[in-house]
Amino acid sequence: MSATNAIRSESDAARQLRAVMKGKVVRWGGDGYARAREIWNGAVRSQPALFALCKNSDDVQSAVRCARKHNIPLSVRGGGHDWAGRALRHDGLVIDLSHIRRVDIDPDTSVATIQGGATAADVISASAPHGLVATTGNCGTVGIAGLTLGGGYGPLTPRCGLALDNLLSAEVVLADGRLVDCDDRENTDLFWALRGGGGNFGVVTSLRVQLHPVREFLAGMIMFSWSDAESVLHGYSQVIASAPDELSVLAGVLSAPDGGPLVFLAPMWSGEGKQGEEFMAKLRRLSKPIVDQIAPMTYLDWLHMFESAAPAGRHYTAQTRSLAALTPEAISALIDGGQLRTSPFSGIIMHHFRGAATRVPVAATAFGLREEHFMAEVIAAWEPAPQEDGRVHQQWAQTVAQNLEPHALPGGYPNMLGPDEHKRTARAYGENLGRLQRLKHLFDPDGVFTSATSLPLQRNYA
């Protein structure tokens, strides 16, 4: 399409949408564009042509149909926290769900009905007064729908499974604009594909998730001197190996006040108090802590604890590797990576996938990795500056990931794979890939939702 025709098409699309939508339509260069375009990762440069700031499912349907009619590529913005910038389709139409974020709690069934733009903090704020929590990630500003569709590692993973394992049903706008419901009895293939297949199959405007009765947690942060990193990481792997499902521990590398590296453990205990104190004591004894901030806290406190370390607007890139075990060689690669960080804002965070999440059969959902592992996030972060293009920090993350590769399982975490990582995405789904590709062809044969997790397409669907 020529530039002139593209502009005409976008103008016609904006006019059509304004006539039918309850929400606003924002065009490139217009009032409200800069605000609509804001996402967590300030390094993302994509400039969409249009934003459809949806108010309800009807608006989403109208936006999908309009984009198809005018041949404008689509993307979907939920919480806006995706590091890869998949929410912003360059020269495309963004279906913005950030104004659709209501959360309703049914305390009798322990179920939350969550609109597509709601964040983890929205859900926990609504469920906590009932003594209930949802399975979320570790940051309150992350959108629940996006997190859930691609996986959802978090502090309750050992006890309650991934976020996607707690999805009960979803309302979805398909590529042809139809609004459908799916669960384990209706549209079962779609329901299977949503749980791990990312946003490849439609726009999730509402989802129902299982909640869990936990009121208070013993949690916080323990930090150790960098000289103790090897012994702490080795000891951590031994403690967590024998721990019950009620204990989860993030581990990795963060910065000291002077910018140098520290090794940290961020445990959360969701069981009875006395046993939790015993495990916290085991973690403290791995070396002499220089920071020891373990205390009873709410789940919302936990989410807020991590937000200040990764503020919106900073520049980020990320790599992930799934480590089968914390072997001495893997620990050495992690320590080398921490030592060679190019920015004091960069770090390495490891999530331990075990317990309830490993007891779900691989074929039960599209998510392809159910064996125990440590999912390592290598996060490069730097402040924007005129002479800072980020290449040195991006190279650091790539180098750390390459050094971890010999110790890693095939593939990676779909929510954290870049748009061009087709081979790793294919391997991430493993034996589920073929079914996932057939369903992609069934529900989205024209590739309308290609800004989502980079699902490699299969051309022969016999």
Quote the crossing angle between the two packed helices 120-127 and 299-307, to the nearest 10°. 160
Report the pLDDT value the prediction gives residue 39, as an integer from 0 to 100.
94
Report the pLDDT value the prediction gives residue 3, as an integer from 0 to 100.
52
Quote the crossing angle between the two packed helices 422-429 and 433-443, to the nearest 10°. 110
Could you give the CA distance from residue 389 to residue 386 in angstroms, rounded to a whole number? 8
Report the pLDDT value the prediction gives residue 460, as an integer from 0 to 100.
43
Residue type, 187: N
Q: Which residue has the tokens 């110790």?
A: 407
Residue type, 323: L
Low-confidence ranges of the chain (pLDDT < 70): 1-8, 454, 456-462
CB 171 within 8 A of CB 57: yes
* C-alpha torsion sign, points 153, 159, 161, 163: negative
Q: Count the helices and strands in the chain (H runs, E runs).
A: 14, 16
CA atoms within 13 A on the CB side of 405: 10
Domain at 217-416: CATH code:
3.40.462.20
Report the pLDDT value the prediction gives residue 413, as an integer from 0 to 100.
93
In this structure, what token pair is assigned to residue 342?
A: 């190019």
Cα end-to-end distance, the chain, whole Å: 33
CB 97 within 8 A of CB 116: yes
User: Which residues have a Cβ under 8 Å from the Cβ of 101 and sit 6 or more positions away?
Assistant: 115, 116, 117, 118, 119, 122
CATH 3.40.50.920 fits 3-96, yes or no: no
CA atoms within 13 A on the CB side of 111: 10
Report the pLDDT value the prediction gives residue 400, as an integer from 0 to 100.
98
Report the pLDDT value the prediction gives residue 10, as an integer from 0 to 100.
86
Q: Which of 52, 93, 68 is nearest to 176 (CA)?
A: 68
In this structure, what token pair is assigned to residue 103?
A: 């959360």
Could you give the CA distance from residue 165 to residue 151 in angstroms, rounded to a whole number? 8
**DSSP string for 41-60:** -TT-----SEEEE-SSHHHH
* C-alpha torsion sign, points 290, 296, 300, 301: negative
**Rounded to 5°, angle at Cα 47 from 319 and 144:** 50
CB 362 within 8 A of CB 432: yes
What does each C-alpha distance from 318 to 150, 381, 431 come to in angstroms?
16, 9, 26
Q: Domain locations in the chain?
A: 3-96, 103-210, 217-416
**Rounded to 5°, angle at Cα 182 from 181 and 186:** 105
415-442 pLDDT tens trace: 998 878 888 888 999 999 999 999 999 9
Class of domain 103-210 (CATH, top level): alpha beta
User: Which residues have a Cβ under 8 Å from the Cβ of 128 and sit 6 or more positions away?
Assistant: 215, 298, 299, 300
